[in-house]
Amino acid sequence: MSQRSASNPRNTTGEKTGAIKRSAARAKPKSAAASTVRMATSEAKSGGRALTKEERKRAEHEERNARNRNAAATNVLLKKDPAYARGRVVWGVVLVVGLALTILSWVVLLLAPEDARSIDAPMGKVSIACLVLAYVCVIGSFIFDWVKLRKQRMAMEEKVNAMSDRRIDEILRDEAFARAAKKKQGLFGRAKKEEPAPSEEGSE
DSSP classification of residue 145: I
Confidence (pLDDT) at 183: 83
- Average pLDDT in the chain: 75
- Report how far residue 153's alpha carbon sits from residue 168's, in angstroms, rounded to the nearest whole number: 16
Nearest to 142 by CA among 92, 182, 191: 92
Nearest to 138 by CA among 108, 101, 105, 83: 101
CA 24 to chain CA mean position, Å: 49
> pLDDT tens, 50-91?
778 787 888 888 888 888 888 888 999 999 999 999 999 999
- Report how far residue 64's alpha carbon sits from residue 60's, in angstroms, rounded to the nearest whole number: 6
Q: How far apart are the first and last CA of the chain?
A: 143
> pLDDT tens, 92-124?
999 999 999 999 888 887 877 676 666 677 777
**Residue 48 φ/ψ region, left for φ over 0, alpha for ψ in the -120 to 50 degree band, beta for the rest:** left
* Contact predicate 131/105, CB 8 Å: yes
Lowest-pLDDT choice from 32-46, 153-167, 186-200: 32-46
